[in-house]
Amino acid sequence: MTRKHWEDDALEAALRRALPRPDAAAVARLEAAVARRIARSPLPAPPGPLVRLRAGLPELIPAGWGALAAAAGCAVWLGLHPVTHAAPQAAYDPLGPLLSLPVAGEFL
């Protein structure tokens, strides 16, 4: 047993010796009063749909809110980008707008 555990046990034993033992009947009355009060209290209102949604979102978003915001921003940006039909036979590249982004003063 470590010194910390020995000191904890010694303190607990000293408190048990120093503090008076409560009357068993008083403890039973207190338990009954608490049980009656709990039984009389109204049940809490069930949470609304928004509260349930906010409670369930952390499990759906393991990477956090920042990742969700970044993904939503990318989806909106790609969805709203105008489609250019320069060559009708060529398929549209949804990542094409990324090629025109300046990176360190140069275009990709």
CB contact at 8 A, 99 and 108:
yes
Confirm whether pTM is higher than 0.85.
Answer: no
pLDDT for 39: 94
pLDDT for 42: 92
Please indicate whether residue 35 or residue 97 has the higher confidence score (pLDDT).
35
CB contact at 8 A, 94 and 78:
yes
Single-letter amino acid, residue 22: P
Residue-wise pLDDT tens digits, 34-47 = 999 999 999 888 88
